[in-house]
């Protein structure tokens, strides 16, 4: 079967998407779980039985609740230094005064990444560590079905009233007798009741925020939040204030359950915060820590086969035995100081056991589904190897090759490999003690995956055999040799290998933007060298080459940029026509283009600080977004929108130009409606709205422009093979995407879009066409600049920089599919726009190279497949690294989404490569 390069590359990427999805499902583990919630409500464990005949504990129930009412004040993104230290006096003076008053306990609660709202609420209420994949469903929080504090309180008949973020209403539906799901709340007049059951006020944050005001990562400001317990039941503290003790955020659920007399959530890995119950008797304190230890040990038993060998379980059993001896002495009436000291010793043993048990259970969050991961990795690596082996044929002049399906699929090797893989699957799935996602699939699906792996393996062996056979034949016309490698080729190879190699270091992953900035700056300098060589060195040292260069510039090129006259032109300099003057000016503009690109890139770097090391430093974007500089931001946004119009409208139809102008006006109106910018005639304050009408106004023009371009594309593909109509259609679709990006970008980021269009225009006119690069080189340059503009937008490899607000532009409420699409488009706008510009450029080069689009599609797929395959192998080896969840896992999510987007891009490339298929058939 004969396949074009684009079809082959798109098929490979679709298979790789399957492998990446399977790997991600195995990599992001399911947290430790106990019984279902309906079975979680049970009786309390008995107190340890005292040794000796006839000795029975007289406590069958737990002590009465410590607090009658609990009020939880949860403040979004509250950092610990906003309450403690010098900043507390500035930002929260009343809270600071309550802390100094002494009837409170202060702690710094450490949250685990990702530091976003919904997973943190789960941690606070269940005491468990949510899976990292919970960040994906953070936008639309489903009902929480695990055993949790709210459900236990409701089951116990307690009245729960809620005011605040409606995420809680979604997580706990039908749990509140009264609620108001708003975006913020205000609490005033908290009155302490002098009663036998005092109230407890808890002040905490779900997560903190970084120095730049974002959250989602693992910096100290993002993971450290204040945790205050304020109650009249606490003894007034004497002495100076000390630095708050560090506890885990998951400890809150266990502490509140004990304080309210409720069972501790079955999935909780938290420890009781002992100072909260420190005012109780020794027997009550020991009873509380025993309840906590019993719950943790039971959770360990249900998730660890060899639980008896766990150090935490051993420590708990020792403490439980000491506790039983203490109860015996207590029941015998021994109330001496020795009994108190012995009780403190037992308490210390329990606390050590709790810490060890909690640590063991927390580590089980990283119990990976290795079988699913390995199957996904095999698929990904097979696809990469197949792409690498197909490079010579895929980049040939015909951009197609014969894919031998019959020999591999009907060979004995294929069936033997299938049988072997099925046998391995049966052995793994029947002997595995932990839950495996791939084993839970139907046998029909599993066998299909095994057949796919076998087919890929046979295809790889067949390709390798052909290469080996061809290598033994005499080479008539060697196409590629070491002497034909240009500086651009060397840079592309070295840059690609260097970038892929850097993914194994956490610092390089955090600061990956620096790698791409370095690569595009180096590329600009090499392009400058190529232009200088083309304009001066070739003329001086190779006079015969000048006529050829001149012919190449005029052939199939819209722009005649550079003119190098022949050496025998005796009338040089005597006359200067308008064409020669134009060509001369283009020549100097061509020479200046790399330096202008370098200046643009330097300006973009100062707009948004990203990464980790320097993210806290002020940048131009923060200066623009401050309330004092709204006029400057408005002026910059207006100028940027005007420049976007002039850079985009050149090749659009008149109707699309009008729609583009009105759409960009709507973009500014939308930003003015939500209060980001102001109109020149606007002097007083204006009511701020959601801008629903203005945003939908822009969406209409986006759809109109895209529909107009799609109509031209369908005509060029179905009715007639008109390359001019096809080029116009692509340009109009591209204009619609630019308008959508302008709507979703924040106002201070509009210059990023302007510079993106400006660099594309300059490189097309003054660099790529004059130097006549091949499709593979052009594709890789587009890919590099697309990656750089991903970070120029302010993105990083951390979850904190994802602009979730883009998913709600023009929407009254959360709608899943549009919100996901808009958020993904806004995040990957840079790579998407550069990929679409690549298609526009290669389509215009079809007359010079009919296989340009196929070559571009194949190279783009290879450039995406290589880093994701290597990174998955590296992440597998680094899965127990200290920064696996804070650094490597977010990057893995970005890579997975990027592969999916690239597959969609390559499918569109393949659809637009219709003309080449006609030429091949002819």
Secondary structure string (H, E, C) spanning 34-76: CCCHHHCCCCCCCCCCCCCCCCCCCCCCCCCCCCCEEEEEEEC
**Polymer length of the chain:** 922
| Alpha-carbon radius of gyration of the chain | 33
Say how many Å lie between the first and final Cα of the chain, rounded: 18
Write the burial class of residue 136 (CB in 10 Å: 0-12 exposed, 13-18 middle, 19+ buried): middle
Concatenated DSSP letters of 761-824:
HHHIIIIIHHHT--HHHHHHHHHHHHHHHHHHTT--SSGGG--GGGGGTT-SS--HHHHHHHHH
- Within 10 A of 569 (CB to CB), how many other CB atoms are there? 11
Structure-token match 């204040």, residue found: 226
Concatenated DSSP letters of 322-369:
HHHHHHHHHHTT--SHHHHHHHHHHHHHHHHHHHHHHHHHHHGGG---
Concatenated DSSP letters of 659-688:
HHHHHHHHHHHHHHHTTSS--TT--S----
- pLDDT of 473 reads 66
pTM of the predicted model, to two decimals? 0.78
With residue 205 as reference, give the H or E element that holds it.
Answer: strand 199-205
CB 251 within 8 A of CB 273: yes
CB 118 within 8 A of CB 137: yes
- Within 10 A of 642 (CB to CB), how many other CB atoms are there? 14
- pLDDT of 140 reads 56
Residue 691 DSSP label: -
Which residues share a beta bridge with 460? none
Angle at which helices 487-502 and 852-877 pack, to 10 degrees? Answer: 30
Which two structure tokens, joined as six digits, stand for 853? 């689009």
What b-and-e string marks burial along 413-439, b requiring 16 or more CB atoms within 10 Å of the CB?
A: ebeebbeebbeebeebbeeeeeebebb
With residue 206 as reference, give the H or E element that holds it.
Answer: none
Q: Is 675 left (phi over 0), alpha (psi -120 to 50) or beta?
A: left
Rounded-to-integer distance, Cα 259 and Cα 187, Å: 22
Could you tell me how many helices (H) and strands (E) the chain has, helices first? 36, 9
Rounded-to-integer distance, Cα 769 and Cα 765, Å: 6
CB 216 within 8 A of CB 116: yes
Rounded-to-integer distance, Cα 433 and Cα 180, Å: 45
Write the burial class of residue 629 (CB in 10 Å: 0-12 exposed, 13-18 middle, 19+ buried): middle
Which residues share a beta bridge with 2? 402
Dump pLDDT digits (tens) for 713-747. Answer: 888 877 766 677 888 889 999 999 999 999 999 99
Residue 167, CB-side half-sphere exposure with 13 Å CA sphere? 18
Q: What are the residue ranges in the chain where pLDDT is below 50?
A: 35, 37-40, 183-196, 478-483, 540-576, 581, 916-922
Write the burial class of residue 34 (CB in 10 Å: 0-12 exposed, 13-18 middle, 19+ buried): buried
Dump pLDDT digits (tens) for 105-153. Answer: 999 999 887 777 888 888 899 998 876 666 655 555 567 878 899 999 9
Q: CA dihedral in degrees (844, 849, 855, 856; nearest 10)?
A: -20
Strands 104-110 and 245-248: parallel
CB 91 within 8 A of CB 82: yes
Sequence-ordered list of residues with C-beta below 8 angstroms from that of 363, at least 6 positions apart, any chain: none
What b-and-e string marks burial along 879-918, b requiring 16 or more CB atoms within 10 Å of the CB?
A: beeeebbbbbbbbbbbbbbbbbbbbebbbbbbebbebbee
Write the burial class of residue 53 (CB in 10 Å: 0-12 exposed, 13-18 middle, 19+ buried): exposed
Which two structure tokens, joined as six digits, stand for 403? 């894919």
Which two structure tokens, joined as six digits, stand for 765? 């006119």
Q: Is the peptide bond before 91 cis (omega within 30 degrees of 0)?
A: no
Taking alpha carbons only, the member of 752, 724, 745 closest to residue 843 is 724
Sequence-ordered list of residues with C-beta below 8 angstroms from that of 821, at least 6 positions apart, any chain: none
Rounded-to-integer distance, Cα 520 and Cα 380, Å: 28
Residue 164 phi, psi dihedral angles, 5° rounding: 150, -150
Rounded-to-integer distance, Cα 444 and Cα 439, Å: 12
For the chain, what percentages of helix, strand and coil (3-state, to nearest 5) are there? 65, 5, 30
- pLDDT of 874 reads 95
Structure-token match 């749990």, residue found: 175
3-state SS assignment for residue 840: helix
CB 41 within 8 A of CB 35: no
Sequence-ordered list of residues with C-beta below 8 angstroms from that of 393, at least 6 positions apart, any chain: 400, 401
Concatenated DSSP letters of 448-492:
HHHHHHHHHHHHHHHHHHHHHHHHTSPPSS----GGG--HHHHHH
**Which ranges of 484-608 would DSSP assign to H, the alpha helix?**
487-502, 506-510, 512-532, 538-541, 545-554, 578-607
- Within 10 A of 445 (CB to CB), how many other CB atoms are there? 10
Rounded-to-integer distance, Cα 392 and Cα 385, Å: 13
Strands 2-4 and 400-402: antiparallel
Taking alpha carbons only, the member of 361, 198, 167, 210 closest to residue 280 is 198
- pLDDT of 434 reads 62
3-state SS assignment for residue 109: strand
CB 171 within 8 A of CB 118: yes
Residue 235 DSSP label: P
Rounded-to-integer distance, Cα 742 and Cα 758, Å: 15
Taking alpha carbons only, the member of 356, 362, 108, 364 closest to residue 249 is 108
């Amino acid at each position: 079967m004969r396949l074009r390069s684009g079809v082959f590359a798109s098929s490979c990427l679709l298979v790789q998407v399957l492998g990446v999805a399977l790997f991600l499902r195995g990599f992001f583990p399911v947290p430790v779980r106990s019984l279902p919630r309906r079975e979680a409500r049970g009786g309390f464990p008995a107190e340890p039985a005292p040794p000796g005949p006839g000795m029975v504990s007289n406590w069958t129930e737990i002590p009465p609740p410590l607090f009658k009412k609990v009020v939880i004040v949860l403040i979004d993104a509250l950092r610990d230094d906003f309450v403690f230290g010098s900043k507390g006096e500035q930002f929260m003076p009343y809270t600071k005064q309550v802390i100094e008053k002494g009837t409170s306990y202060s702690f710094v609660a450490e949250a685990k990444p990702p530091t976003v709202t919904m997973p943190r609420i789960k941690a606070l209420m269940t005491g468990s560590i949510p899976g990292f994949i919970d960040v994906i469903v953070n936008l639309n929080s489903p009902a929480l079905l695990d055993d949790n504090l709210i459900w236990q309180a409701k089951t116990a008949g307690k009245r729960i009233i809620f005011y605040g973020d409606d995420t809680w209403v979604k997580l706990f539906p039908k749990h509140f007798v009264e609620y108001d799901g708003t975006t913020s709340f205000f609490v005033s007049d908290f009155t302490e009741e002098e009663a036998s059951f005092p109230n407890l006020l808890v002040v905490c944050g779900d997560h903190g925020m970084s120095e730049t005001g974002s959250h989602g990562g693992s910096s100290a400001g993002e993971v450290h939040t204040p945790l205050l317990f304020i109650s009249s039941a606490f003894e007034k503290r004497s002495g100076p204030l000390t630095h708050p003790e560090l506890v885990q955020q998951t400890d809150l659920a266990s502490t509140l359950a004990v304080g309210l007399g409720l069972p501790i959530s079955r999935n909780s890995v938290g420890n009781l915060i002992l100072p909260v119950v420190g005012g109780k008797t020794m027997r009550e304190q020991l009873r509380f820590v025993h309840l906590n230890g019993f719950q943790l040990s039971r959770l360990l038993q249900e998730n660890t086969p060899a639980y008896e060998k766990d150090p935490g379980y051993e420590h708990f059993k020792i403490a439980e035995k000491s506790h039983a001896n203490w109860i015996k002495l207590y029941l015998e009436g021994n109330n001496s100081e020795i009994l108190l000291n012995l009780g403190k010793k037992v308490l210390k043993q329990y606390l050590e056991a709790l810490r060890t048990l909690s640590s063991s259970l927390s580590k089980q969050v990283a119990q990976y589904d290795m079988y699913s991961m390995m199957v996904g990795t095999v698929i990904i690596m097979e696809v990469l190897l197949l792409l690498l082996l197909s490079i010579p044929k895929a980049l040939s002049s015909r951009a197609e090759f014969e894919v031998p399906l019959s020999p591999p699929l009907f060979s004995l090797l294929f069936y033997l490999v299938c049988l072997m893989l099925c046998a391995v699957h049966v052995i793994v799935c029947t002997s595995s003690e932990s839950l495996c996602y791939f084993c839970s699939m139907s046998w029909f699906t599993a066998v299909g995956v095994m057949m796919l792996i076998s087919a890929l393996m046979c295809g790889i062996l067949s390709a390798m055999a052909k290469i080996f056979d061809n290598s033994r034949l005499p080479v008539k016309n060697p196409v590629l040799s070491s002497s034909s490698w240009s500086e651009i080729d060397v840079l592309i190879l070295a840059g690609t290998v260097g970038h892929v190699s850097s993914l194994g270091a956490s610092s390089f992953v955090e600061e990956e933007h620096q790698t791409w900035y370095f690569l595009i700056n180096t590329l600009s300098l090499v392009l400058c060298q190529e232009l200088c060589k083309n304009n001066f060195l070739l003329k001086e040292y190779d006079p015969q080459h000048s006529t050829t260069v001149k012919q190449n510039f005029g052939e199939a090129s819209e722009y005649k940029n550079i003119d190098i006259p022949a050496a025998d032109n005796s009338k040089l300099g005597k006359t200067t026509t308008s064409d020669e003057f134009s060509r001369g000016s283009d020549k100097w503009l061509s020479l200046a283009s790399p330096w202008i690109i370098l200046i643009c890139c330097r300006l973009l770097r100062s707009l948004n600080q990203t990464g980790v090391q320097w993210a806290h430093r002020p940048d131009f974007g923060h200066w623009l977004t401050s309330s004092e500089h709204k006029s400057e931001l408005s002026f910059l946004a207006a100028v940027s929108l005007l420049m976007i119009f002039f850079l985009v409208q050149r090749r659009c139809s008149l109707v699309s130009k009008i729609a583009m102008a009105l759409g960009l006006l709507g973009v500014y109106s939308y930003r003015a409606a939500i209060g980001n910018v102001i109109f020149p005639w606007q002097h007083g304050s204006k009511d701020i709205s959601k801008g629903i009408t203005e945003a939908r106004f822009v969406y209409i023009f986006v759809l109109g422009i895209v529909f107009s371009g799609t109509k031209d594309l369908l005509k060029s593909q179905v009715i007639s093979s008109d390359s001019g109509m096809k080029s116009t259609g692509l340009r109009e679709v591209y204009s619609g995407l630019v308008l959508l990006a302008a709507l979703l970008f924040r106002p201070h980021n509009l210059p990023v879009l302007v510079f993106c269009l400006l660099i594309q225009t300059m490189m097309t006119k003054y660099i790529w066409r004059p130097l006549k690069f091949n499709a593979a080189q052009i594709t890789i340059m587009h890919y590099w600049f697309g990656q750089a503009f991903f970070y120029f937008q302010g993105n990083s490899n951390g979850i904190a920089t994802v602009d979730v607000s883009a998913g709600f532009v023009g929407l009254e409420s959360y709608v899943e599919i549009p919100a996901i699409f808009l958020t993904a488009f806004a995040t990957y706008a840079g790579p998407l726009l550069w990929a679409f510009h690549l298609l526009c450029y290669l389509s215009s080069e079809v007359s010079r190279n009919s296989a340009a689009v196929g070559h571009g599609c194949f190279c783009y797929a290879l450039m995406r497949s290589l880093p994701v395959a290597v990174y998955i192998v590296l992440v597998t080896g680094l899965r127990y690294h200290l920064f696996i969840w804070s650094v490597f896992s977010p990057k893995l999510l970005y890579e997975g989404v990027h592969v999916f987007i690239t597959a969609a891009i390559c499918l569109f490339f393949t659809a637009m490569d219709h003309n080449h298929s006609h030429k091949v058939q002819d």
